[in-house]
């Protein structure tokens, strides 16, 4: 029955012509988007590797200088990409790819692609995820809206039923045929994933999540299309209903969900946040805390003057200042992170109403281009920054005393710089991050379950053909 239906649908579509053209356009768009993303990804990876290498050289070859000067000299770390980011760049363009690590500051990432984008790009970026998440459902609708409704209108459905057709087999074959067609458009993506797995160090776990979630999404749209087509009296009304559902699910609800999330869980603007950071770190309380630390240290070593301490006071004071600022960073960045996570969860909750939101969330997670992965990178960067500061301040504290005695300023050299390890961050396995996309994945499965249930009624509706 499936092969029979596929063959018949294929023959009709081939002779229809428009469907072939439409499908070809989508396939060409997908191929172009895939090639263009792949090309950009390759270029970016080459550049990133070069930057990582030259940045390490810059750090190691900075010459002799005070450790604190080196701390201000800073290092740049590069955010890693997964091979899946070619398919779904997610929030990457807005997140930045480089983080500067320096003394006293927890910076935001730099080099956000959106800053370099031309103005027209605000109308939409052509990437594989956009085509698969937004255009593919539209194509599935255009391929399948008439599938049952037109058979009802033309009388062939009654003819088929009178011939002994089983409505269940008929509906199942139509769903599988439409899903199969939808999956055909996904084939280039699967090929790319296999390639990335074999030759590009791709993650099997992430690739599997990506494929399964998109297959579910295609299945959801095929089911939805055919359920509506089963209920609609005419193909035209089926098309209108489906286009409204598509516009709501893929265009309007995501925008609304973002706006709603931002209103419910507001975050301060970047400038306000930065000035709040400054104002909360450099306060009289900080001066007081440093004075208290000094008093406690002098008391601990039973001396009256920092010059009499057995180590360089400046190193200890700098490290104390860092740790004081770290607490403020943890609190303020933590508050901001809580708000951002609340926004993200609120957006995910809207996946109950939109399979697009469900898939988008899971897809970005699999591709490591979502907020959670960005935060993991930022946190890893911050841990590295604190390690650098602790190493440099510790070195100044331990070794700076001798230079002070000789009335010379202490200088670190490449031995010290080499103590700072490479920043070589790798994202954790996607299964460890299920808290960030689990709700969306559950919504996608819920959509499938609900549509499966509605399929029963759609089959009943086909069975009742002729009574109405």
Partner 1 sequence: MNSDEQTHVISVTNLSKHFAEYQAVDDISFTVKKGEILALLGPNGAGKTTTINCILGFLKPDGGTVSIAGIDPAKDVVKARKQLAYIPEQVALYPKLSGLENLQYMSKVAGVNKNKAQFRELLERVNLPKHATDKPIASYSKGMRQKVGIAIALAKNAKALILDEPTSGLDPSASHEFSQLIQTLAKEGVAILMATHDLYRAQEDAHSVAIMNQGKLVHSLTGDGIKEVQLESLYLEHVRVASTC
Instruction: Provide the binding-site residues for partner 1, judged by CB under 8 A.
Output: 1, 4, 8, 11-12, 15-16, 154-156, 158-166, 170, 463, 465-467
For the stretch 291-298, contacts whose Cβ atoms lie closer than 8 Å and that sit 24 or more positions apart, written own/partner, are 293/317, 293/320
Integer-rounded Cα Rg, in Å, for the chain is 30
**Between residues 12 and 278, which has the closer beta carbon with respect to partner 1?**
12
**Least distance in angstroms from the C-beta of 240 to partner 1:** 23
**Least distance in angstroms from the C-beta of 454 to partner 1:** 22
H-state helical runs in 282-428 = 284-300, 313-349, 355-367, 371-405, 414-417
**Least distance in angstroms from the C-beta of 12 to partner 1:** 5
**Least distance in angstroms from the C-beta of 148 to partner 1:** 14
**Between residues 48 and 168, which has the closer beta carbon with respect to partner 1?**
168
Question: What's the CA gap between 353 and 320, in Å, rounded?
Answer: 50
**Between residues 109 and 230, which has the closer beta carbon with respect to partner 1?**
230
Strand (E) positions, 26-79?
75-78
Contact indicator for 281, 324 with CB cutoff of 8 Å: yes
**Between residues 11 and 244, which has the closer beta carbon with respect to partner 1?**
11
**Between residues 170 and 410, which has the closer beta carbon with respect to partner 1?**
170
**Between residues 63 and 466, which has the closer beta carbon with respect to partner 1?**
466
Closest CA to 387 of 326, 339, 342, 334: 326
**Least distance in angstroms from the C-beta of 13 to partner 1:** 9
DSSP-derived pairing of the beta strands 75-78 and 105-106: unpaired
**Between residues 128 and 144, which has the closer beta carbon with respect to partner 1?**
144
**Least distance in angstroms from the C-beta of 28 to partner 1:** 25
**Least distance in angstroms from the C-beta of 153 to partner 1:** 10
The secondary element (H helix, E strand) that includes residue 60 is helix 18-60
Closest CA to 144 of 80, 238, 214, 67: 238
**Least distance in angstroms from the C-beta of 456 to partner 1:** 17
* 373 DSSP assignment: H
**Between residues 93 and 465, which has the closer beta carbon with respect to partner 1?**
465
Question: What's the CA gap between 175 and 170, in Å, rounded?
Answer: 9
Q: Which two tokens stand for residue 25?
A: 């356009």
**Between residues 170 and 320, which has the closer beta carbon with respect to partner 1?**
170
**Least distance in angstroms from the C-beta of 239 to partner 1:** 18
**Between residues 149 and 451, which has the closer beta carbon with respect to partner 1?**
149
**Least distance in angstroms from the C-beta of 464 to partner 1:** 8
Q: What is the largest CA-CA distance in the chain?
A: 105
Contact indicator for 83, 196 with CB cutoff of 8 Å: yes
Question: For 189-208, b where at least 16 C-beta lie within 10 A, e where not — what string?
Answer: beebbeebbeebebbeebbe
Question: For 249-285, b where at least 16 C-beta lie within 10 A, e where not — what string?
Answer: bbeebbeebeebbeeebebeeeeebeeebeebbeeee
Please give the distance of CA 41 from its chain centroid, rounded to a whole number. 15
Residue 29: partners with Cβ closer than 8 Å, 6 or more residues away = 126, 131, 135
């Amino acid at each position: 029955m499936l092969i029979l239906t596929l063959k018949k649908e294929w023959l009709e579509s081939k002779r229809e012509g428009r469907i072939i053209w439409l499908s070809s356009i989508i396939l060409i768009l997908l191929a172009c988007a895939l090639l263009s993303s792949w090309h950009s990804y390759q270029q970016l990876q080459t550049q990133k590797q070069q930057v990582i290498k030259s940045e390490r050289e810059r750090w190691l070859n900075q010459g002799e200088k005070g450790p604190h000067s080196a701390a201000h000299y800073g290092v740049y770390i590069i955010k890693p990409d997964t091979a899946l980011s070619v398919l779904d760049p997610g929030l990457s363009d807005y997140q930045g790819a480089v983080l500067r690590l320096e003394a006293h500051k927890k910076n935001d990432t730099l080099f956000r692609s959106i800053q370099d984008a031309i103005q027209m790009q605000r109308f939409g970026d052509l990437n594989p995820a956009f085509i698969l998440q937004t255009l593919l459902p539209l194509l599935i609708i255009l391929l399948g809206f008439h599938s049952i409704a037109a058979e009802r209108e033309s009388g062939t459905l009654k003819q088929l039923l009178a011939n002994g057709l089983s409505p269940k087999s008929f509906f199942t074959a139509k769903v599988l045929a439409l899903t199969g067609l939808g999956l055909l458009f996904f084939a280039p993506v699967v090929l790319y994933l296999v390639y990335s797995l074999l030759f590009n160090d791709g993650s099997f776990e992430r690739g599997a999540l990506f494929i399964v979630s998109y297959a579910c999404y295609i299945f959801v749209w095929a089911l939805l299309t055919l359920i509506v087509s089963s209920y609609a009296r005419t193909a035209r009304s089926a098309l209108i209903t489906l286009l409204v559902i598509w516009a709501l699910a893929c265009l309007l609800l995501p925008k609304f969900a973002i706006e709603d999330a931002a209103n419910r869980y507001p975050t301060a603007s970047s400038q306000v946040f930065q000035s709040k950071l400054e104002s909360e770190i450099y306060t009289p309380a900080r001066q007081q805390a440093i004075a208290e630390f000094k008093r406690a240290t002098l008391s601990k070593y039973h001396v009256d003057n920092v010059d009499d301490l057995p180590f360089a006071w400046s190193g200890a004071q700098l490290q104390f200042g860092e740790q004081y600022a770290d607490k403020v960073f943890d609190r303020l960045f933590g508050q901001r992170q809580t708000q951002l996570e609340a926004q993200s969860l609120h957006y995910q909750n809207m996946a109950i109403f939109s399979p697009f939101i469900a898939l988008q969330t899971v897809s970005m997670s699999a591709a490591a281009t979502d907020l959670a992965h960005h935060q993991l990178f930022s946190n890893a960067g911050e841990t590295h920054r604190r390690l650098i500061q602790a190493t440099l301040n510790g070195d100044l504290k331990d070794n700076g005393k001798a230079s002070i005695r000789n009335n010379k300023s202490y200088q670190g050299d490449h031995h010290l710089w080499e103590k700072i390890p490479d920043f070589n961050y790798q994202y954790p396995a996607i299964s460890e991050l299920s808290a960030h996309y689990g709700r969306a994945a559950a919504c996608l499965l819920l959509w499938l379950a609900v549509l499966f249930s509605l399929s029963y009624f759609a089959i009943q509706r086909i069975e009742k053909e002729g009574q109405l």
